[in-house]
Amino acid sequence: MKNVLFLVHRIPYPPNKGDKIRSYNFLKGLTKDYNIYLAAFIDDAEDWQYVEQVENLTASSFFANLNPSLAKAQSLSGFFTKKALSIPYYHNNKVQQWVNKTIRENKIEKIFIYSSVMAQYVGEHQIDCVIDFVDVDSDKWLQYSRKAKWPMNWVYKREAKLLLEFDAKVARLAKMNIFVSQEESQLFSHLVDINPKKINFVNNGVDTEYFSANKLYNLPYNKPEHIIVFTGAMDYWANVDAVTWFVHEVFPLIKHQCGGAQFYIVGSKPTKEVQYLTDMEGVFVTGRVEDIRPYLKFSSVVVAPLLIARGIQNKVLEAMAMGKKIVATPQAIEGIKIADQEVYIKDNAEDFAKQVLLLLDNAQASLYAEENRQFVQKNFSWSASLKKLTHIIETEQLIKPEI
């Protein structure tokens, strides 16, 4: 089997959040055809316990500790070097040394980079390289800048500009650049002057055998009626922004007509801002749970009120796989071509609340949306995505690097 260098900005395990779900499934899938040499950062002390699970999938692995506070301080050097702050944030001399040694001592034939910031480690090595950008992160920083106050709005706008410049540079040098959806790939092509033949996309997948309502789950709610659920990592700004908007702008409209409505925020590491939301009657914050599936199965409706988003939201696909009805903002559905499914897209608080109320009123009549599950099974399988990824990695380079 060929030797592949796999660089990822965060240990691809456990698959319990968007980026790890994708990176883990790609890693697991690629091990069937390649010997994997993996380097990854660990930015959460709890994740060190999963090193062995990842090592078992690789020929060789290297894990570097990343202390977020120290990394933020290190990233400030970008102001003096005129780089995007994300680049020095993920710079580590030991990782660079391991990459150089691994390429030198092993017959590395291909490189797979998950997250463009990891491309800084292979700049000197002219090897067949595929970069998975996943999302257009520079645009996400631009969205952040529009919501933040000075001076952070200036910092975020600067990051958007310089990160896009970096992404454009590494993308031109790579054999192929992939994104999580056609919409993301088209946006990047619009923003960057690059040969369109170097841009492609590979969808996320969903383990529909795991995310199935046809299993026995324990009821997680004391009062299992009029339950509204949001799932996601609750230290991620876009998720914090989403639930804050929902609680302050949407939920009061729902409570006015449905006094028994309950809103559950299910996800790890809730920030203080999220925890304070429980001051409103009917709002619950669970923190980390072992299994989100019971919270989805026994809910009346799932909401995805994201105002800042890029790419495909796994939380939406997982809820659909569980046969749940969903109310979402347009941002939360980007990359998911909804047709006749029971996913309702609303772009303002009043309409969002009205749709949730309609589903709460009719929840007992029809809790399960089979068409949502069938949609995911048909369009978002990991087997199809991995087949496409392997084809991209194996395709011979037809375009010379654009220096």
Q: How far is it, in rounded angstroms, from Cα 289 to Cα 309?
A: 24
Residue 396: per-residue pLDDT: 65
Residue 128 belongs to domain with CATH number: 3.40.50.2000
Instruction: Examine residue 213 and state whether it is found in any structural domain, yes or no.
Output: no
Give the pLDDT of residue 75. Answer: 97
| pLDDT of amino acid 403 | 40
Q: How far apart are CA 307 and CA 213, in angstroms?
A: 28
Instruction: Give a yes or no: residue 281 inside a domain.
Output: yes
pLDDT at residue number 402? 45
**Both 321 and 390 in a single domain?**
no
What angle separates helix 152-173 from helix 137-147, to the nearest 10 degrees? 170
Residues of the chain below pLDDT 70: 124, 126, 363-366, 396-403
- Asked, for residue 326, whether it belongs to a domain, the answer is yes
Domain shared by 69 and 150, yes or no? yes
Would you state the pLDDT for residue 363?
57
Number of folded domains that form the chain: 2
Residues 103 and 171 both lie in one domain: yes
User: What pTM value is reported for the model?
Assistant: 0.90
Is there a domain that residue 212 lies in?
Answer: no
53 & 153 share domain? yes
**Range(s) of the domain holding residue 73:** 2-205+381-394
